[in-house]
Amino acid sequence: MLNFDFYSPTRVLFGMGRHREIGALAAQRAKKVLLHYGGGSVKRSGVYGEIASSLEENGVQFAELGGVVPNPRLSLVRKGVELCLSEGVDLILAVGGGSVIDSAKAIAMGACHKEDVWDFFEGKLKDLSALPLAVVLTIPAAGSESSPVTVISNEEKKLKEGYRSDALRPFVSIVNPELFFTLPEDQIANGVADMMSHVFERYFTDTAKTDLTDGLCEAALRTIIKNAPVLMDDRRDYDAWAEIAFSATLAHNGLLGMGRKEDWASHRIEHQLSAVYDIAHGAGLAVIAPFWMKYVYGDNVGMFAQFAMNVMGAAPSRDIEGLALEGIGRLRRFFSSLGLPSTLRDLGIGSGDFEFMAKNATGAARGSEKPLGGLKKLLWQDVVEIYRLAQ
Amino acid sequence: MLNFDFYSPTRVLFGMGRHREIGALAAQRAKKVLLHYGGGSVKRSGVYGEIASSLEENGVQFAELGGVVPNPRLSLVRKGVELCLSEGVDLILAVGGGSVIDSAKAIAMGACHKEDVWDFFEGKLKDLSALPLAVVLTIPAAGSESSPVTVISNEEKKLKEGYRSDALRPFVSIVNPELFFTLPEDQIANGVADMMSHVFERYFTDTAKTDLTDGLCEAALRTIIKNAPVLMDDRRDYDAWAEIAFSATLAHNGLLGMGRKEDWASHRIEHQLSAVYDIAHGAGLAVIAPFWMKYVYGDNVGMFAQFAMNVMGAAPSRDIEGLALEGIGRLRRFFSSLGLPSTLRDLGIGSGDFEFMAKNATGAARGSEKPLGGLKKLLWQDVVEIYRLAQ
């Protein structure tokens, strides 16, 4: 086990009806909030109205900014920053999923600095101040509700970049599974692939002696695999949503990676697909993660065999390599059973941008290549190879 | 799954050499700390000296108060409160295990109030203020390093009572497995029983649909069961200590009980033994927990069968009741293999105080009986029966 710091101060309020507590919570920290959301679904579902009432009842004023899209855009972030300054906002309230939360985090940083907010993502700025953030989750998947990370797409530069700071951890996140009942099937499936990938990036490691976190990762993965098909049959199954949503939060609050070398190559490889083709992050991961596994499993075949047995239900065998491949095969079939894409072709992506994306992923495009990954170090040529396998 | 709030803001610094970071951390919050510890072992081991140097190097003054004993005493807490006031202490630094941390928590509360600190434990006072707390852990077991709970023994009244407040969560806890290398075998075994019981109190529930936390509890228990025998062979095995210590912290930071009705009857029943006979808490739990299980398993036999298979390694069977009993039997043999007591006789405890203790445990002695437990509600007569079974 490696040395680690565990810090996850976000207060998670979980359960039925709890989004109506947001007004009282916001009132402890703010006079005026920016209510940040995506499309019209929060208005149609009535969640927007309930949150607005809760804020009003608690004497909290709000400005609002909707329009966040998947792979949230820098242009809207900049608009949000201006709005915070002109309206005197002192708290950002994200009502949505990972994209809305990530957009809110970027606004929270931008509103405390004169410099352009993209400077953070380019590594030119590093500072700990940000407006406080609260979250009412409406799509469980990204785990951004208790993570210190934001990922933003710069549409002009065709880049998708992340930034990490403890100041970006929401002080409170409300997770009410009832709010997920109306999510469409493809969004549920994409979310499942995303949350599972958050575990994979921590689980597949070459760090030795990681009994506890191995077990925690496996418990989260088994819980997701058990409950996702229940939702495919009945999108209004509260308990299945509760298991999935709690797993998604845990998958990304940091705990599952403590003491382990993490990987994150699959995410970096997928981010390029989303940036160039604007596909759903989870759908991209469902394709990339298994092919990344096929490309790297030889670097720790025992870990992949353990995955096959402890997560994917493969029977024990002395054929460790066979087990490892069986686990990956079972994972691909599980993703397919949820209606997720299996190949880049399924996503309508051809081979034309492989080199461009691979060089952006590793930084080779900027002349400063940094190999991706923890378990196996990947240069841009390796990334091209993974894209090719995934065709 | 039940509604829940998860909040665990303690920053855990885990790993080799990390106790030397305490001075820099304390300096962020305090000019003068109360260095609180137990016997002379922290001085003999050199930890005291390293911490004192770290404080001095960072310009932090300190007063000190040693002498905490297992089942920490109210009298020393009162002395600590006086010392804080006379010395102008603004942070309590606990260097020790659960007893030292619990004592430090009580001092941190007492130092912020004019009233006698025992008033908190008797339910007469309820307030959120306390001095900030930092911890350097030297015995991993109690989980107090990230819990909001303190348990103190009132020697005059022969009572052992707990108090819970988020203000009692340390802002930072340092867990360095190297500091545990010199612990004697019986203390290791007691600690294992204690941390496992913290999981049991959360795991054995009648709440339905708890896939994720079932899995997390089972992962923690399996990790402890795998690594404890390693320590019995070699007390200096860093990795085994790391697994055990991380499990102990996780067992008591709240996560494993989220969304579940918790129990805590075994703890309440054991606290009486410690209060009257001054035995080690973990040794008492090693006796009480399995007999509590035997007394209550019929109320959720499926959960105990699951425990037998997923934790204790029993083979699946259609005989659910047989499985449940096999799991309990395997647990007793595991505790015995660590040299832990199996019966009250092993602890030198006769039957003379069963009724006195049972009535104190449920509150019947004070004329306000409140049944113990979550899975099965226990009146004082039930508690006497469990003591009898454990003879």
Domain residue spans of chain B = 11-179, 186-389
Are A74 and A152 in contact, with CB atoms under 8 Å apart?
yes
How confident is the model over B187-204, as a mean pLDDT?
97
- DSSP summary character for residue A316: P
pLDDT at B83: 98
Two tokens at A313? 């239900």
Is the predicted pLDDT of residue B160 greater than 90, yes or no? no
Q: A239 to chain B: which residues are within 8 Å by CB?
A: 1, 208-209
Residue B90: strand, helix, or coil: coil
CATH 1.20.1090.10 fits A185-389, yes or no: yes
pLDDT at B365: 93
Q: B196 to chain A: which residues are within 8 Å by CB?
A: none
pLDDT at A40: 85
Euclidean distance between CA atoms B308 and A4, whole angstroms: 32
Residue B66: strand, helix, or coil: coil
Best of B212, B223, B226, B258 to substitute, by most chain A Cβ atoms within 10 angstroms, is B212
Nearest to A219 among B7, B216, B226 (CB): B216
Helix H or strand E segment including A218:
helix A211-233
Euclidean distance between CA atoms A377 and A11, whole angstroms: 36
Given the candidates 3.40.50.1970, 3.40.50.2300, 3.40.50.2000, 1.10.730.10, the CATH classification of the domain at B11-179 is: 3.40.50.1970
Under an 8 Å CB criterion, which residues of A touch B? Answer: 1-9, 11-16, 18, 208-209, 211-216, 218-220, 222-223, 226-227, 239, 242-243, 246-247, 250, 255, 258-259
pLDDT at A126: 84
Euclidean distance between CA atoms A287 and A283, whole angstroms: 7
Cβ of A14 and B8 within 8 Å?
no
What's the pTM value of the predicted model, to 2 decimals?
0.96
With CA atoms as reference, report the closest residue to A327 among A299, A294, A359, A357.
Answer: A294
Is the predicted pLDDT of residue B28 greater than 90, yes or no? yes
Q: A243 to chain B: which residues are within 8 Å by CB?
A: 1, 209, 211-212
Name the closest residue on chain B to residue A227, using Cα atoms. Answer: B211
Two tokens at B148? 């909001």
Nearest to A11 among B5, B15, B219 (CB): B5
CA distances B268 to A232, B231, B274, B285, Å, are 44, 29, 10, 10
User: Phi-psi bin for B15: left (phi > 0), alpha (psi -120 to 50), beta?
Assistant: left
Residues 6+ apart with CB under 8 A from B208: A239
Nearest to B227 among A16, A211, A250 (CB): A211
Residues 6+ apart with CB under 8 A from B303: B203, B204, B205, B206
Buried (b) or exposed (e) across B240-259, using 16+ Cβ within 10 A? bbbbbbbbbbbbbbbbbbbb
Residues 6+ apart with CB under 8 A from A74: A106, A117, A118, A152, A153, A154, A155, A156
Helix H or strand E segment including B64:
strand B61-65
The CA-based angle A335-A337-A339, given to 5 degrees, is: 75
Q: Which residues pair with B266 in a beta bridge?
A: none
High-pLDDT (> 70) share of chain B, %: 100
Nearest to A9 among B9, B220, B247 (CB): B9
Nearest to A227 among B9, B13, B211 (CB): B211
pLDDT at B299: 97
Cβ of A3 and B14 within 8 Å?
yes
With CA atoms as reference, report the closest residue to B190 among B289, B262, B277, B68.
Answer: B289
Under an 8 Å CB criterion, which residues of B touch A? Answer: 1-9, 11-16, 18, 208-209, 211-216, 218-220, 222-223, 226-227, 239, 242-243, 246-247, 250, 255, 258-259
Q: Which residues pair with B14 in a beta bridge?
A: A4, B175
Euclidean distance between CA atoms A333 and A336, whole angstroms: 5
pLDDT at A125: 86
Residue B320: strand, helix, or coil: helix
With CA atoms as reference, report the closest residue to B133 among B40, B36, B51.
Answer: B36
Task: Walk along chain A (391 residues) and give the pLDDT tens digit of each residue.
Answer: 999 999 999 999 999 999 999 999 999 999 999 999 998 899 999 999 999 999 999 999 999 999 999 889 999 999 999 999 999 999 999 999 999 999 999 999 999 999 999 999 998 988 779 999 999 999 999 999 999 999 999 999 888 889 999 999 999 999 999 999 999 999 999 999 999 999 999 999 999 999 999 999 999 999 999 999 999 999 999 999 999 999 999 999 999 999 999 999 999 999 999 989 989 999 999 999 999 999 999 999 999 999 999 999 999 999 999 999 999 999 999 999 999 999 999 999 999 999 999 999 999 998 999 999 999 999 999 999 999 999 9
Best of B25, B146, B173, B211 to substitute, by most chain A Cβ atoms within 10 angstroms, is B211
With tokens 């050199």, the residue in question is B46
Two tokens at B242? 């790391």
**CA of B245 vs chain A CAs: smallest distance (Å):** 10
Residue B294 binned pLDDT confidence (cut-offs 50, 70, 90): very high
Rounded to the nearest angstrom, the gap between the alpha carbon of residue B344 and the centroid of all alpha carbons in its chain is: 20
The sign of the dihedral angle between the CA atoms of B318, B324, B327, B332 is: negative
Q: ipTM score of the complex?
A: 0.95
Name the closest residue on chain A to residue B169, using Cα atoms. Answer: A9
Nearest to A211 among B3, B13, B226 (CB): B226
How confident is the model over B340-356, as a mean pLDDT?
97
Is the predicted pLDDT of residue B127 greater than 80, yes or no? no
Euclidean distance between CA atoms B134 and B51, whole angstroms: 12
Nearest to A15 among B3, B219, B246 (CB): B3
**Could you read off the pLDDT of B252-274 as tens digits, one per residue?**
999 999 999 999 999 999 999 99
What is the biggest distance separating any 2 CA atoms in chain A, rounded to whole angstroms? 66
Q: What amino acid occupies position B233? A: D
The CA-based angle B236-B237-B238, given to 5 degrees, is: 100
Name the closest residue on chain B to residue A216, using Cα atoms. Answer: B216
Name the closest residue on chain A to residue B253, using Cα atoms. Answer: A8
Q: B259 to chain A: which residues are within 8 Å by CB?
A: 14-15, 242, 246
Q: Which residues pair with B164 in a beta bridge?
A: B149
With CA atoms as reference, report the closest residue to A84 among A34, A37, A28.
Answer: A34
Cβ of B14 and A5 within 8 Å?
yes
Q: B315 to chain A: which residues are within 8 Å by CB?
A: none
**Could you read off the pLDDT of A107-164 as tens digits, one per residue?**
999 999 999 999 999 989 887 799 999 999 999 999 999 999 999 999 998 888 899 9
Given the candidates 3.30.465.10, 1.20.1090.10, 1.10.10.10, 1.10.390.10, the CATH classification of the domain at B186-389 is: 1.20.1090.10
Nearest to A14 among B4, B223, B239 (CB): B4
The CA-based angle A139-A145-A151, given to 5 degrees, is: 90
**Could you read off the pLDDT of B203-245 as tens digits, one per residue?**
999 999 999 999 999 999 999 999 999 999 999 999 999 999 9
Euclidean distance between CA atoms B116 and B77, whole angstroms: 10
Do B11-179 and B186-389 share a fold?
A: no
